[in-house]
Structure 1
Amino acid sequence: MSPDDPESNYRMANEVMLSKLPIPAEHVHRTPADQSDRDAASLAYTQEMKRAFGTDDVPQFDLIQLGMGPEGHTASLFPHQGSLREQQRLVMPVSVPKPPPDRLTFTPRLINAASHILFLVTGAEKDEAVAAVLEGEQQPDEYPAQIVHPIRGEVTWMLDTAAAGKLRKQK
């Protein structure tokens, strides 16, 4: 998908944040999800991240900001998808049940290497999934957001009142 497509995460991030900050263009690394060979695109993006981070290992982001869908998906990690169990790749192509169906996603291996993960979740349509993810039994195949457990980092959840509506433990 093109970077200016209405469904593009890059377009949204650029409009609400990146274009408003003094970030040099060479420091913005958009995933090349619009390439027809998504396997090649995922490998190229992995190499670009390793180059930018100066590592041959798993890059460690200072911060990864995630959302969560009403069925508990995060990034483009959807319930019952093989990407949830990926152990080698850092970025991979996926086909998901939400438009646009063909995407690239960070894998749990890359996400969980981050120093800090920030979930921003809003809306009453997500309240049941929020409660299941945060207070329910561990079922990451059903609720992919549960797969987020940074190895040496921390997770912060920011919820609006509607998304937090079904939580039993009010903090």
Structure 2
Amino acid sequence: MSLLNLNIVDDNEMLSEKLGYQLEEIILELVNKKQIVTIGLSGGSLIDLLASSVPRLQFPWARLRFFFVDERFVPFTSDESTYGAYQTKLFRKLPLTEKNIIKIDPDLKSVEECAKDYQNKLEETFTEDDKSFDIILLGMGPDGHTASLFPNHSVLNENKGLVTYVKDSPKPPSERVTLTLNTINQAKYKIAVVTGESKSTIVKEVIQEKNTKYPIGQVKDLIWYLDKSAASKL
């Protein structure tokens, strides 16, 4: 399959549609090679973009496993819960069962325990020799962070295991569980979906100037999906 590394579209409706068809193409190719396809989800504007297109697409739902690139250590009923937002806006529209969705346990006593438990759940999804995730969908904050990997934060250097935790996130809520940078980089397809003028300077620095001081710039072989505002300085 030939994938464009840089995709710039006019608006969110077109972005949602193009991203959806890209995912469909990748997934249908992967299911010819393996039994289970793993898809990492991020929060933010990506949730609405996926909710707008994914329910109309033809996915082999029983063979998909959705998990979270990062998650806030809060109850699922909280407005801050990424799983809670996906459940409300997307998952309930899809023919999924509990086994299709791998999520943290927010009822555990500490974020450390939560990260360890999530690590175990993710490891159980690797039923074949290949131990890398298939598709990881990333967002980017105005500071260049992705997942819960923040600029100049020690969590960027933590690469033991699939998962780590953050206790002092510069963006609230402070406690989070996140995939490590190494785990993200080992995924087969890494897709960054970025919208908004506030991110255009960092987009330019990372794409054109190959700046790696931002966490998003340390993700290798990214496929970019940008709206015109985010791409305005390219």
TM-score for both structures, normalised by structure 1 = 0.84
Partner of 1:71: 143
Q: Secondary structure at the match of 2:193?
A: strand
Unaligned 5+ segments in structure 1 are: none
1:162 aligns with 2:229: yes
SS at match of 2:223: strand
Tell me the C-alpha RMSD between the 2 structures: 1.9
Query: For residues 81 and 41 of structure 1, what CA distance do their matches in structure 2 show?
Result: 20
Report if the CA contact (8 A) 1:59-1:113 is conserved.
Answer: no
Shift in Å, 1:33: 4.9
Q: Distance in 2 between matches of 1:92 and 1:133?
A: 25
Contact 1:119 1:156 in 2 (8 A): yes
SS of structure 2 residue aligned to 1:118: strand
Secondary structure at the counterpart of residue 80 of structure 1: coil
Contact 2:144 2:150 in 1 (8 A): yes
Q: Matched residue of 1:77: which SS?
A: coil
Percent of aligned pairs with the same residue? 36
C-alpha separation between the residues in 2 aligned to 1:58 and 1:33?
29
Q: 1:40 deviation in Å?
A: 1.6
Note if 1:86 corresponds to 2:158: yes
| Distance 1:58-1:89 versus aligned 2 partners, 3 A rule | farther
How much has 1:34 moved relative to structure 2? 5.5
Distance in 2 separating the partners of 1:108 and 1:34? 26
Contact 2:210 2:217 in 1 (8 A): no
Aligned equivalent of 1:31, options 92, 104, 114: 104
Verify the 8 A CA contact 1:62 1:116 in the aligned structure 2: yes
* Native 8 Å contact 2:104 2:117 kept in 1: no
What code does the residue aligned with 2:144 have?
A: G
User: Distance between the aligned counterparts of 2:169 and 2:130, measured in 1?
Assistant: 25
Unaligned runs of 5+ in 2: 1-73
Q: Deviations over 1:97-116 (max 9, x none)?
A: 11111111110121112111
Q: 1:21 to 1:59 in 2, by over 3 A?
A: farther
Report the equivalent of 2:5.
none
Distance in 1 (CA, whole Å) between partners of 2:225 and 2:175 is 28
Asked whether 1:126 is paired with 2:199, we answer yes
Q: What secondary structure does 2:125 align onto?
A: helix
Task: State how far apart, in whole Å, the 2-side matches of 1:10 and 1:32 are.
Answer: 11
Query: Which residue number corresponds to residue 21 of structure 1?
Result: 94
